[in-house]
């Protein structure tokens, strides 16, 4: 299902030159919004958590996230595994886009995987309504395009950018963040009065953003290991372009690749992101640096290590980035954590689910 908004006229002040910003001009914005499907809120049977943050859950600049699955299964109250304290609440790893501060009403909609609560984990999830509850002709089954137009207009008028490319990208990010039914958004910003000095109809910039599912691995064997992983998860959750869907249990493991160093604490997380693989890599490396990672020794001790394990079913081999992770099929602790999250996740190279890869590795290690 697709919704199209064509040539929404908006007077705004974008441009490199001072007169463009001072005088302003009319921009034409078009949007192609791809929905998950009429009356279908999720692409799978997975339950998601959305907008479960209450005022009573945010105190002293701390947002507490818990690993409720394991604790509730054991009859315990969920224990915190991710807290965003003041000392990591700022910095490059947690900064929203530059326009966020100017349009808070549009952009501070965070979706977190579990919010600390004594109630069972499942009660905080937003399940798919039963088929009988769906009304394909209801506004709640689609995106309100009138509201989307108002969002686009406010974004264009409140902010000022040098480049219409930046404006198009910002609109795409905004709509994907606000409207959970959207799978992708393609935005075109036309500038009919571009200062070129030659006759033309318009100049335009087109940007497309889509939701992607990625699995990441986290590890630490220096300092406060659990706090390092918790802070990393909190910084990811605080980003405007990533949503944490699931987190595995933290597990203590012997060092892999180089002996003679402290044990690691490892975990995996499933996230939804609108970032490209390269952008996601940069974001995760920024979080590593924010939390003290220094790449001084290959295979050596580290405060934090965050790797991209899977990104949709992408197969990519570049000097700086290999997806799926080149060695995950040889790492039992990674496969164990992935099996806890999604045992039938298919490895796009081996064409085997991670549970089968784990069983194969276990047989080799006997």
Q: How confident is the model at residue 136 (pLDDT cuts 50, 70, 90)?
A: confident
The pLDDT assigned to 78 comes to 42
Q: How confident is the model at residue 223 (pLDDT cuts 50, 70, 90)?
A: confident
Fold of 2-41+130-210: GTP Cyclohydrolase I, domain 2 (3.30.1130)
CB-based contacts of 94, cutoff 8 Å, min separation 6 = 84, 88, 235, 238, 239, 290
Say yes or no to pLDDT of 235 above 60: yes
Average confidence (pLDDT) over 330-340: 95
Average confidence (pLDDT) over 82-104: 39
In this structure, of 35-49, 56-70, 221-235, 311-325, the range with the lowest mean pLDDT score is 56-70
Q: What are the pLDDT digits (tens) for 242-271? A: 999 999 999 999 887 666 678 999 999 999
Say yes or no to pLDDT of 10 above 60: yes
| pTM of the model as a whole | 0.72
The pLDDT assigned to 295 comes to 58
Query: Is 246 designated active site?
Result: no
147 versus 302: the higher-pLDDT residue is: 147
Average confidence (pLDDT) over 279-304: 81
Share of the chain above pLDDT 70, in %: 70
Q: What are the pLDDT digits (tens) for 30-74? A: 999 999 754 333 333 333 333 333 323 333 333 333 343 444 434
Share of the chain above pLDDT 90, in %: 63
Q: Where are the domains of the chain?
A: 2-41+130-210, 46-119+211-325
Catalytic, out of 191, 246, 258, 270: 191
Say yes or no to pLDDT of 196 above 80: yes
Q: Do the domains spanning 2-41+130-210 and 46-119+211-325 agree at the CATH topology level?
A: no
Three-state secondary structure string covering the chain:
CEEEEEEEEEEECCCCCHHHHHHCEEEEEEEEEEECCCCCCCCCCCCECCCCCCHHHEECCEEEEEEHHHHHHCCCCCEEEEECCHHHCCCHHHCCCCCHHHCHHHHCCCCCCCECCCCCHHHHCECCCCHHHCCCCCHHHCCCHHHHHHHHHHHHHHCCCCCHHHHHHHHHHHHHHHCCCEEEEEEEEEECCCCCCCCCCCEEEEEEEECEEEEEEEEECCCCHHHHHHHHHHHHHHCCCEEEEEECCCEEECCCCCCCCCCEEEEEEEEEECCCHHHHHHHHHHHHHHCCCCCCCCCCCCCCEEEEEEECCCCEECCCCEECCCCHHHCHHHHHHHHHHCCCCEECCCCEEHHHHHHHHHHHHC
Task: Select, from the ranges 115-119, 222-226, 254-258, the one with the highest average predicted confidence (pLDDT).
Answer: 222-226
In this structure, of 122-136, 284-298, 310-324, the range with the lowest mean pLDDT score is 122-136
57 versus 311: the higher-pLDDT residue is: 311
Say yes or no to pLDDT of 178 above 50: yes
Q: Is 33 within 8 Å of 3 (Cβ atoms)?
A: yes
Average confidence (pLDDT) over 194-204: 95
CA dist 21 and 29 (Å) reads 18
Q: What are the pLDDT digits (tens) for 342-359? A: 999 999 999 999 999 999
The pLDDT assigned to 83 comes to 39
Q: How confident is the model at residue 198 (pLDDT cuts 50, 70, 90)?
A: very high
The pLDDT assigned to 72 comes to 40
- The CATH classification of domain 46-119+211-325, taken from the options 3.30.2130.30, 3.30.70.560, 1.10.10.10, 3.40.50.720: 3.30.70.560
């Amino acid at each position: 299902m697709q919704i199209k908004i064509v040539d929404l006229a908006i007077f705004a002040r974008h441009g490199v030159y001072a007169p463009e910003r001072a005088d302003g001009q009319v921009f034409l914005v078009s949007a192609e919004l791809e929905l998950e499907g009429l009356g279908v809120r999720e692409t799978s049977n997975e339950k998601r958590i959305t907008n479960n943050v209450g005022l009573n859950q945010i105190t002293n600049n701390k947002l507490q996230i818990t690993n409720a699955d394991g604790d509730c299964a054991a009859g315990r109250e969920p224990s915190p595994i991710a807290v965003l304290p003041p000392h990591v609440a700022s910095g490059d790893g947690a900064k929203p886009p530059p326009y966020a501060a100017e349009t808070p009403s549009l952009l501070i909609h965070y979706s977190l995987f579990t919010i600390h609560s004594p109630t069972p984990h499942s009660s905080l999830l937003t399940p798919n309504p039963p088929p009988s509850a769906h009304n394909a002709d209801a506004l709640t089954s689609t995106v309100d395009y009138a509201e989307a137009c108002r969002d686009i207009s406010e974004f264009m008028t409140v902010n000022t950018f040098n480049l219409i490319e930046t404006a198009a990208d910002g609109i795409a990010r905004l709509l994907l963040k606000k409207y959970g039914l959207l799978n992708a958004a393609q935005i075109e910003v036309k500038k009919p009065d571009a200062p070129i000095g030659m006759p033309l109809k318009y100049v335009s910039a087109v940007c497309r953003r889509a939701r992607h599912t990625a699995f990441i691995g986290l590890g630490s064997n220096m300092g406060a290991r659990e706090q390092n992983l918790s802070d990393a998860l909190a910084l990811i959750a605080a980003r405007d372009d990533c949503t944490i869907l699931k987190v595995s249990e933290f597990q203590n493991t012997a060092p892999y690749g180089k002996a003679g160093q402290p044990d690691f604490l490892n975990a995996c997380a499933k996230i939804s992101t609108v970032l490209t693989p390269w952008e996601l890599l940069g974001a995760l490396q920024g979080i590593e640096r924010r939390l003290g990672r220094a790449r001084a020794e290959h295979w050596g001790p580290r405060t934090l290590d965050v790797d991209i394990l899977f990104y949709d079913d992408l197969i990519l081999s570049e000097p700086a980035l290999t997806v799926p992770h080149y060695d995950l099929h040889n790492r039992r602790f990674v496969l164990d954590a992935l099996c806890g999250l999604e045992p039938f996740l298919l490895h796009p190279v081996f064409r085997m689910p991670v549970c089968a890869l784990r069983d194969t590795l276990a047989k080799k290690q006997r």
